[in-house]
Amino acid sequence: MSTPSEPPMPNPAALLRRPPDRRSLKVGQIALLLLATLAAGWPIAAIIGEREARQGVLRADFMKSWGPDQTVPAPVLVVPYVDAGGLSRHYLKIAPEALSTKVELVPERKARGLFSAIVYTASVEMAGTFPMPSQSSVEARVGRGATILWKDSLLLLQASDLAGMTAGDHAAWDGAAVAWRNCGELDILAEECRGALLVAKPPTGVLPATAGKMPFQATVTLRGTGSFRHVLMGRKAEAVVTAPWPTPSFAGTALPTDSTVTDAGFEARWRSVDYAQPPLWTSSRLSETSTEMRGPSVGVDLLEAVPTYRMIHRASKYGILFVVLSFTVYGLIELLSVARIHTIQYGLLGVSVTLFPLLLVSFAEPLGYAAGYWIGAAFVLTQASLYTAAVTRRMVPAAIFAAALGGLFGFLYVLLSLETYSLLVGSVALFLVLSAVMAVTQRVDWRAGEG
């Protein structure tokens, strides 16, 4: 009975002489080409960053020429006093007991060349009452023997900048209108008038030096860029901000109590009740410091409906998906048909797809993000699809490639607009695409050609 013969042992020398697997070699070449293609996109990313920086420079220019981001604290009643030694002058400051502020923003887009910035004109109306402190509470703050200069009292209003003031802006004490004055017009040391300060002196005899309440009003018109803030001070305060702008972002240390946002504009309302704030305090400077502005900060940022450069940045970060998808479709065409695609042809396709972010920023600057996206996508899709048809010389693979690339462009546009759920939708879509590739290639004999 014959015994089965053992299989011959492989010859190590023959293994060394065996040529490398052609498929493995092709995959390695394409992987290196993919890295080179992605590196070629770095200069395009630098161009996008440079254009965004120029947009920032333009916004800074408008902040200088039109007006900065405005921050307007609540008006403060300022009463000068001289200490008991008569050596130095200080200020007793009284916060409003009740404050009601109405702000109407009129935004507009200012352009310079291909770049633009959102600016606004703010009409600010404030009304409220100051609690006139008793003699004992004043002495507790300033000390015994201090001389209180009630006749030199001032209504103080501070802002980031006074650009945009009009002749109709004024203040009112107990119904008596008085004009705003610049702090520099008063007989006060220059270092005490730092910042954008408006002051209004009450008419003679209006401001009492005894306990009670003093009603006031203040109107001011300011110009600013991008955002507006208002610092609420006092025990009871409320503010209403309105603007014909459909895409606000409410900011500050307190969100609106209620707000309404429509395509025609928005209205936001804040209410604050704070008994922890001191009703009066002392300071060595006329202007208010940041530590004295202890009330909640409320306000709004006027955002673009579609922030062009932020969307372009996000789209450019998905450039790797376009290259990987294009190379994957080309690889599947080679595996599932008799078409053969040279490595150089892979490279030319990669360069074509990599140009999409550059086309996007080029068209988006003059035409807007949406138009720039679809025009750039149409250019790349047309060029890459026609090239695929010429390479494969078959309409079916070219149609499949065009459908895949066009679907990716459409899906990415929707994905970028989702904001909140973009990560979830993108992860699920990537999983489904990988599952489809695994299903299509499950019958491919990857060991063919290994000898």
- Domain presence at residue 12: no
Q: Same structural domain for residues 85 and 48?
A: no
Segment 3-9 shows an average pLDDT of 55
> How far is it, in rounded angstroms, from Cα 269 to Cα 314?
33
Q: Report the residue count for the chain.
A: 451
Does 324 share its domain with 245?
A: no
Domain interval for residue 44: 22-52+309-440
Determine which helix (DSSP H) or strand (DSSP E) holds 223, and give its type and residue range: strand 212-225
pTM: 0.76
What pLDDT sits at residue 29? 81
Report the domain count for the chain. Answer: 2
pLDDT at 16: 46
Q: Which residue has the tokens 């892979």?
A: 346
Task: Report d(CA 354, CA 351) in Å as an integer.
Answer: 5
Q: What is the mean predicted confidence (pLDDT) over 2-27?
A: 56
Neighbouring CB atoms inside 10 A of 429's CB total 15
Question: What 3-state DSSP class applies to 214?
Answer: strand
- Quick one: 157 and 188 in the same domain? yes
Residue 60 lies in a domain: no
- pLDDT at residue 44, rounded to an integer: 84
Do residues 46 and 98 both lie within one domain?
Answer: no
In a domain, 448, yes or no: no
Statement: residue 14 has pLDDT above 50 = no
Domain-embedded: residue 220: yes
Which tops the pLDDT comparison, 106 or 349? 106
Q: For the chain, give the mean pLDDT.
A: 83
3 lies in a domain? no
**With left for phi above 0 and alpha for psi between -120 and 50, is residue 136 left, alpha or beta?**
alpha
Residues of the chain above pLDDT 90, percent: 25
In the listed set 276, 305, 334, which residue is the last one of a domain according to the structure?
305
Are residues 244 and 201 both part of a single domain? Answer: yes
Residue 63 lies in a domain: no
One domain, residues 301 and 357: no
H or E element, residue 272? strand 265-273
Same domain as 81, residue 37: no
Instruction: Specify the pLDDT at position 293.
Output: 64
| Spatial separation of the C-alpha atoms in residues 154 and 79, rounded to whole Å | 7
**297 and 319 belong to one structural domain:** no
Interval 286-294 mean pLDDT: 68
Pair (96, 197) in one structural domain: yes
Rounded to the nearest 5°, which phi and psi values hold at 283?
A: -150, 150
pLDDT of residue 15: 42
- pLDDT at res. 260: 95
The domain boundary, picked from 305, 329, 347, lies at: 305
- Cα–Cα distance measured from residue 228 to residue 226, given in angstroms and rounded to the nearest whole number: 7
Q: What is the mean pLDDT of residues 337-358?
A: 86
Instruction: Say whether pLDDT at 242 is over 90.
Output: yes
**Does residue 143 share a domain with residue 48?**
no
CB 322 within 8 A of CB 353: yes
Residues 156 and 277 in one domain: yes
Q: 395 or 266, which is more confident? A: 266
> If we measure between CA atoms, which residue out of 394, 418, 176, 255 comes closest to residue 426?
418
Residue 345 lies in a domain: yes
Residue 221 included in any domain = yes
CATH number, position 142: 2.60.40
Residue that finishes a domain, picked among 255, 279, 305: 305
In this structure, the answer to whether residues 113 and 134 fall within a common structural domain is yes
